Amino acid sequence: MRRLVCSLTVLILLTQAGGSSAAEEIDRILAAVNRRVVTEGDLRLARNLNVLVGFGRTTPPGSRAEEVDQLINRELLRQELEHFPLQPEDQGRADQRLEELKQGYAEIGGITYVLRGLGLQESEIEAYLALQVSMMRFIEVRFRPFVNVTPAEVGEYYRTELEPKLRASGSRIPSQEEVSKQIDSLLVDSKVSRMMDDWIQTLRQHSEIEVFDENRLIPQETAR
């Protein structure tokens, strides 16, 4: 935990050091998604929220273009969720996650200190968590009911993926029956992820998306 605290503190200090220059910059438009803009400020916000939610443990970002692409996908999904209102149980899950974050940051002065260091407002993390929960429920309703994993698929994964990996590492190899539920869950998640990716790509094809690189406009998917 101490290592985590140190790494997060460094991230906060770095953010504070660059905050003044960032604030002086014009909030440049990075993309337009169905005539709603995605800005440089949105990119900074997404980075800082990922740092906060990940307790300082973040996956190294890809290229800037990849980050912008992820923001575009998130904005498309957010627009779809406008027709999928937040339910009371969703708000409860978001509140629970916020409480977990508050408890996790108690050791280094509380979440208020961390939010201030990252230049965030509590309302921003609340909205971010609510969006995450809504996305998860949308995925559960829209995709998961249509996913099926057969015993043959479970057996194939066990023989071709799990068993060879365990043997190579010298670990104990459980019987297929012991791990069948875990394999089934893993394969379901994998199929849901692929369905989600395909759906996002279809959504992009029917959306109006423009990406701006410096002063140049890069044509992307166009209007329906």
Q: What is the pTM of this model?
A: 0.74
Whether residue 182 is contained in a domain is answered as yes
* pLDDT greater at residue 57 or residue 88: 88
Assess whether 112 and 69 both reside in one domain. Answer: yes
Choose the final residue of a domain: 100, 118, 142: 142
Same domain, 107 and 61: yes
Q: Are residue 177 and residue 137 in the same domain, yes or no? A: no
Report the alpha-carbon distance of residue 150 to residue 39 in Å, rounded.
44
Domain boundary among 104, 124, 142: 142
Torsion over CA: 156, 160, 162, 167 (sign) = positive
Residues 64 and 83 in one domain: yes
What's the whole-number mean pLDDT along residues 150-160? 97
Per-residue confidence (pLDDT) for residue 83, from 0 to 100? 81
What is the structure's pLDDT at 85? 75
Q: Give the residue numbers spanning the domain of 97.
A: 2-142
39 pLDDT exceeds 90? yes
Question: Which residues are CB-contacts of 10 (< 8 A; sequence separation ≥ 6)?
Answer: none
Same domain, residue pair 162 and 118: no
**All residues at 6 or more sequence positions from 164 whose CB lies less than 8 Å from its CB, including other chains:** none
Cα 51 to Cα 15, 70, 129, distances in angstroms:
11, 16, 13
Looking at residue 51, which CATH number applies to its domain? 1.10.4030
Verify that 43 and 97 share a domain, yes or no: yes
**pLDDT per residue over 187-219, tens digit each?**
999 999 999 999 999 999 999 999 987 654 455
pLDDT at 13: 39
Instruction: Kindly indicate the confidence band of residue 89, based on its pLDDT and cuts at 50, 70 and 90.
Output: confident
CA atoms within 13 A on the CB side of 183: 22
Residues, the chain, total?
A: 224
Share of the chain above pLDDT 90, in %: 50
Tell me whether residue 213 is in a domain: no
